[in-house]
Amino acid sequence: MTSEARILIVDDHKDTLYALESALTPLGHPLARATSGDEALKQVLRGGIALLLLDVRTPDAEELDVVRYLRRLEQTQHIPVLLLTGLDPDHELTGAAFALGVADLLVKPIDPWALRTKVRYLYDTHQRHHALEQEVRTLRARLNATPDPTTPDLRTTPDLRSAPTRPGRVPLQRDTDIPRATSA
């Protein structure tokens, strides 16, 4: 995922899409739109989506089908989802949404300031999570790579700090072993 990861807004009403885009444009992140659950899934599976704002009721999908599908796939299970609804959510829907790992459920009309705050946090968190995953993959690849004969293998090199001292050798010292001078 690049720094150009998009925020996907899914709603079957074009006026709502426009309002949400207008509210999120000041954040400066690229935005994408979809008007159906199927279209949203296609865009998410192509990659490059860091956050999904999803209307609970899209004409071609049951309430949480899109989220259920995303959570089953390894490549999409960590994408944060903000659910949007025009109706007061019932306890069953809310419980099922949070059980699927939905970040939050927002009731329309949505306060633009609150929306931007939540989106900024979730977008940044997803980007940091992705960067950490990349770093772990890089480190694992370095560990599994063919070792350079001039570089000591840290997996097999003994820790000299815990090695017994032989006569004539000075043991290694740590900063904590050295008394510090205090200023008067």
- Whose tokens are 């927002």? That residue is 106
Sheet with 81-85: list strands edge to edge.
31-34, 6-10, 49-55, 81-85, 104-107
Confidence of residue 174 (pLDDT cuts 50, 70, 90): low
Write down the pLDDT at residue 151: 63
User: Hey, what are 136's tokens?
Assistant: 């772990």
- Whose tokens are 């999904």? That residue is 52
Q: Is residue 106 a contact partner of residue 85, using CB atoms and an 8 Å limit?
A: yes
Write down the pLDDT at residue 181: 58
Write down the pLDDT at residue 167: 58
CA 50 – CA 164 distance, rounded (Å): 52
Q: Is residue 36 a contact partner of residue 57, using CB atoms and an 8 Å limit?
A: no
Phi, psi of 38, rounded to the nearest 5 degrees: -65, -45
pLDDT, mean of residues 81-110? 90
Helix or strand run (H / E) with residue 115: helix 112-144
CA 153 – CA 149 distance, rounded (Å): 9
Write down the pLDDT at residue 87: 80
Write down the pLDDT at residue 115: 96
Write down the pLDDT at residue 41: 92
Q: Is residue 66 a contact partner of residue 114, using CB atoms and an 8 Å limit?
A: no
Write down the pLDDT at residue 2: 42
Whether 6 shows a pLDDT value over 90: the answer reads yes
Write down the pLDDT at residue 81: 96
Share of the chain above pLDDT 90, in %: 53
Tell me how far CA of residue 97 lies from CA of 34, 61, 81, in angstroms. Answer: 20, 15, 10
Write down the pLDDT at residue 154: 59
pLDDT, mean of residues 10-39? 94
Write down the pLDDT at residue 1: 40
Instruction: Please work out, in degrees rounded to the nearest 5, the angle formed at the alpha carbon of residue 69 by the alpha carbons of 68 and 72.
Output: 90
pTM summary value: 0.72
What does the pLDDT look like over 132-169, one tens digit per residue? 988 999 998 888 886 666 666 656 656 555 555 555 55
Share of the chain above pLDDT 70, in %: 76
